[in-house]
Structure formats: C-alpha cells, structure tokens
Amino acid sequence: MQFYSLNNHSEKADFEVATIRGQAPDKGLYFPQEIPTLPKAWIEGIAGFSREEIALKVISPYVGDSIPTRELSGIVEQTVSFDFPLVPVSEGISSLELFHGPTLAFKDVGARFMSRCLGYFVRHLNRKITVLVATSGDTGGAVANGFYGVDGVDVVILYPSGKVSSVQEWQLTSLGKNISALEVKGTFDDCQRLVKQAFTDSDLNRALFLTSANSINVARWLPQQFYYFFAYQQWADKGHPPVISVPSGNFGNICAGLLARRSGLPVAHFIAACNANDVVPAYLCSGHYQAKDAVATLSNAMDVGNPSNFVRILELFDQAFHPLKEVLSSCSISDEQTRQTIARVYDRHHYLLDPHGAVGYLALSQYLQEHPGQQGLFLETAHPVKFYDVVEPITGQQIPMPASVSSMLNQPKQSLPMEVSYQTLKQYLLSRPA
C-alpha cells in the first residue's frame, strides 16, 4: 500500500516511511492510495471471528509488506488485548465502551498499535526517534503508556496547562524514563501549532529524527477502524445497520469510521458529536469551513478549533459537499446539556457517562427522535473516573477508582512549565541528550 500527501498526490510513501515521518515532507497528511474493499461474505460472517482476526484482516492491506504477517499478528494481538463491549443504555441506544484499555481511553488502541509498529521499524535505524505530540487530554496518557520503555524512542508531550483533567495529567506526567511532558501555558491549538512548526523547521529536523503520534500519523489513525468492526460484530440486528455517534475533536476517530464504511462495513449514518467547538457543524450547515480559536469545555479532549483530520474526510468524499452530508451530520452540544445528559441517563438508566460520551449520547438521541425507526450506538471514549471532578458533583456518587488509576496517584508529577514560545520548545528539544 502506498500513501500520498494531501498537499501533493505525487509525494508517496509506504506504511513504514509514512509512520516514521508522521507527515509528508511537504507537511501534508498521508492518505491511502487505495481503499480496500472487504469481501461481503467476510463481513456477513464477522460474528465467527476473534477480535485479533478482525483487526488483522482490516489493517493488513494498509501495512502491506512493511511488516511481516507474523510480526503484524503479534502487534495486533497486543493492541486489542482488552474488551470492547457494546452495552444497551436506553431504548434504541447502545454504548460501545472503549475505555477498558490501560489508560481508560479509546486512544489506547492507536497508541499501542503505533508504538509497536515504530518499535519494529526502529530496529533497522541507527538513530533515536523523538515522538513529538500535542494532546487535548487522552492522547497524552495513551501515547505515554504505549511508548513507555520502548528502546530507541523518546516521547515529548505538549499539553495545555489547566485544561486537562487531573487524572489525564497524572497519566502523562507520572511515568518519566523516556517520557517527557511540557505544560504549555495556552490552549491545545497552541500546543498543536508548536508541534506543527517543529515539523516544518529544517534545522531542527536535521538535528533530530522527529515523528508525530497524533492521529495525523497513519499508524495512529488507521487502527481506529477496529472499533467499528467490533461494534458491528456485536450488533444484533444485522439487517438494520446502526447510526453511529462519535464524540469528535480532531476528527481522526470518526474519519476512521467513515473509512471502514467505505471498505464495506454496514453503517446507516454517522454523527460527529461536537461540544461548543462547532467548526464542523457550522461547515455542514453553510458549506464554508472556518477555523476558530478553541473554547474550553467539560469535554476537554474535543476542544479543538481546527481539526487536523477533517481534510482526510473531505478527501474521502472527493471534496464533494452533498455526498458528505448524506453520510455525515454534526451538532454542537453545550456544557449545560452535557451536565443534564449525565444526570438524566444516570437517574433513568443507571448508566454513567463521561462528558464526551454524554455529548455522543445526546447527539444520537436527538437524531433518532428526528428519524424514528432507526437505532444506534455512541462511542463512550473514556472512563468516567478520568473526569470524576465533573461527573461526581452531577450524580452525587463517588466513582470507584480503577487500579490502573489509583496506582499512579502517589507518583510525583514530572512536567516542565513552558510559555507558548516556539524558540523555547526548539531550545528544549535541541538540548536533550542524543
């Protein structure tokens, strides 16, 4: 499989090169030259396969010859070694729980897959790789956990000070070793701009071997398709495919879902469930895309004012607005609606939502009210305990602390405060031991 740059279709790379680079030399995102079509009979028989078999079937065409099948099978097995249950919540609505991994967030899948792929590739290199990543919350912890202790790889995470939850901050600042955290006095968009500037700095890139672990990297983005196949495997009414609501920030997750649909996965419709950061809902109303400054919300992992992966969604639909609107709708959910949804679903259905899942649930509920007869699922992307300081005051109930979280609470925070300054970031990166 070859991947081309969205800035220049003649700029191509295989899976290994695309993973190591993160972005193309022209700073475009990589996109698969071909989108594989999975056999209809295989999809119809999906209930008979294991998670590992499903994941390997989905990802193999993209990886191609870059990783031998035996090695790739082992990577996949480690990537999906936890549960992805589809849980009924209310009439016509189920939750696909993606928080059963080591950092209690959906990003565990992409981070684990990418770290293991990069760990395989780095064996053939004579240089240390520096993974540079910006996080709005869950990416940082998942990347830190996935890459912790990987030989030949250092990780530098930029996160916005005071704009991630306390649990999220513990997860990305408590490890040390080859993981470093920079606490930026700004927003996620500031962090993302600093990271993007680093990748365009020719002097820095001559001195360091940089790559990204955000969902702009194909090895982070592509395995997110697994969720949707796992959901369909558990979906009872195969004759009536689900409407799927995806809490959306940087749009890598829902883009992977749309890619899975293009490969043949039955999905009735997608909903990009957004918080107050409503760039995409506004675009789908007007046809005009206008990036905005990010607004801080309760669902902080979605606080993105210029989602990087939306260009991939446009490419998936050949830049055609109306065909995109037929498959994808989007809405903006306020913080007050988020609070009300957490309280109502807990009181009526005894199901505890995190703020991101609440946005996804309400967006789906509103859509189904307007489209009677359909059923759907939403992605519960993080364990509620990661946002206990938001959820507990709403429900009045203490959330039991999973062992993976309680074990880190006494670990010292290891972060370096930093102003929004590219020169400061550059100096820090160049001063690190080679």
Tokens representing residue 246 in the block: 């995806």
Task: Write phi, then psi, for 336 (nearest 5 degrees).
Answer: -65, -40
Tokens 């300081």 locate to 389
Find the catalytic residue in 107, 163, 196, 386.
107
192 in Cβ contact with 184 (< 8 Å)? no
Instruction: Spell out the residues 6+ positions from residue 371 whose beta carbon is closer than 8 angstroms to its own.
Output: 243, 269
User: Are the C-beta atoms of 365 and 372 separated by less than 8 Å?
Assistant: no
Distance of alpha carbon 345 from its chain centroid, rounded? 25
Helix (H/G/I), strand (E/B), else coil: 157:
strand
- Look at residue 13 and give its three-state secondary structure: strand
Query: Three-class SS of residue 409?
Result: coil
Q: Tokens 């996965």 — which residue?
A: 265
**Strands 93-97 and 376-380, bridge-based pairing:** parallel
Written as six digits, the tokens of 291 are 């990036």
C-alpha distances (whole Å) from 276 to each of 353, 356, 358, 390 are: 18, 12, 13, 17
The two three-digit tokens of residue 346, written as one number: 């807990």
- Helices marked H in 97-214: 107-121, 138-147, 166-173, 188-199, 202-207
The verdict on whether 12 is a catalytic residue reads: no
Q: How many CB atoms lie within 10 A of CB 380?
A: 27
Strand 12-14 vs strand 2-5: parallel, antiparallel, or unpaired?
antiparallel
Q: If DSSP codes are grouped into helix, strand and coil, which group holds residue 106?
A: coil
- Helix, strand or coil, per DSSP, at residue 381: coil
Chain-centre distance for alpha carbon 198? 21
- Beta strand extents in 68-168 (DSSP E only): 86-90, 93-97, 129-134, 153-160
> E-assigned strands of 200-253?
209-212, 243-247
Q: What amino acid positions are annotated as catalytic residues? A: 107
